[in-house]
Chains A and B, each alone.
Chain A
Amino acid sequence: MIADIRRSVFLAGARDTIPMIVGAIPFGILFGTLGISAGLSWWAVMAMSLFVYAGSSQFVAASLVSQGVSGIVIVVTTFVVNLRHGLYAASVGRYLSGLPRRWLLPMGFALTDETYAIAIKRFETDGDVDGRRWYYAGSACLMYGNWQVCTVLGILFGQRLASFGDLGLEFAMVVTFIGIVVPLIRSYPMLICAVVASGVSVVLNFLPHKLGLFAGSIAGISVGFLLHQWRLIQASSQPKQGLRDE
């Protein structure tokens, strides 16, 4: 009985991740392709997908390898590019209290943009920790399996599919994020947070190592949070004016 429920929650996690897979397929194949043309051995390209498992930093690493940048610099850059996963971890970890380490270790390992986006959407409405972990597992297993298969395809056939980035499939990823973010914007501070994060990220896009992305995220969180707190203070000092949100 419990096994049935777990299986269906696991499958729901996988099913909800399918739109993300569509966006991730071209990235995985492209990574396999670029890794080989950057001069990495096939086993190193594969090992990076298997053991690092962080798409955008793998791309950055491949491009730095092709430019002859030293390993230390690439590792530091990887750290900076993946700093946003620390924010994800703090955000999603709140919903996972009490889980044993044998669950938290693989969950931490598999915390990508996509699985975070899918999981947090569900966690905000689902109150059951057992359900949450199986849902997360379903999403993570599909993303991980897909990433490995696509890396293999890129290593094997990438050189023949050189023009396939022209399809513009990264739009699939963006439209998925839009579908997740827009319904989350239920208050004025949340709207301002999205606008500020977008604006700062675009203006600082010229910065290396995706620092613009990180700065935009921090700016959006800070402005949204301060606005939220300010409205709380306003509301408590003028109790007659009704709150429009929260």
Chain B
Amino acid sequence: MSDIEQILLIVGMMVVTFGVRYPILSLSGRVELPEWLQTALSFVPVAVLSALSAPILLMPEGQLTIAFSNEYLMAGLFSIAIAALSRHLLLTIASGMAVFLCLRFLF
């Protein structure tokens, strides 16, 4: 890519990314959202973060791998259990990472 093409690429990416983030952010604070929309939005963090995480846990190499040898899945299930029982973010991260690294490098 030439210098001009690279500059245009970055400007274009910047415009569309900011164009998705800012207008909605500034609008949703100014307009009182209807009750049903607020309810729907309360599902956003759980839905998006689950959809981001599940493929990494279930298909770390690109295909579905439900097996004890999949350390992502095993450490992930362990972390879900710890999070459900303790509801403590740092404890979940620390113990989940410890289990993941043990599975990865000790076995």
A interface residues (Cβ-Cβ under 8 A, vs B): 19, 39-41, 44, 47-48, 51-54, 57, 61, 65, 71-72, 74-76, 78-79, 82-99, 101, 104-105, 107-109, 111, 113, 116-117, 120-121, 168, 170-185, 189-190, 193-195, 197-202, 205, 212-214, 216-221, 224-225, 228-229
Contact = CB atoms under 8 A, between A and B. Distances in A.
Contact of A94 (B20, B33, B75): B33
A213 to B, nearest CB: 5
Nearest to A228: B39
25 contacts: A40-B1, A47-B10, A65-B1, A74-B12, A82-B21, A83-B20, A86-B20, A87-B44, A93-B26, A94-B29, A96-B25, A108-B18, A117-B45, A168-B72, A171-B75, A171-B97, A174-B56, A178-B53, A197-B51, A201-B50, A201-B55, A202-B54, A216-B50, A216-B54, A224-B43
B107 to A, nearest CB: 13
A177 B49 contact: yes
A54 B102 CA distance: 31
B39 A225 contact: yes
A44 B12 CA distance: 13
Q: Which secondary structure dominates where chain B touches chain A?
A: helix
B54 A201 contact: yes
Contacts of A220: 43, 46-47, 50-51
Q: Which secondary structure dominates where chain A touches chain B?
A: helix
A41 B3 contact: yes
B20 A82 contact: yes
Given A93-B26, A202-B54, A216-B50, 9 more contacts: A41-B6, A82-B16, A97-B30, A98-B29, A179-B88, A193-B43, A201-B50, A213-B55, A220-B50
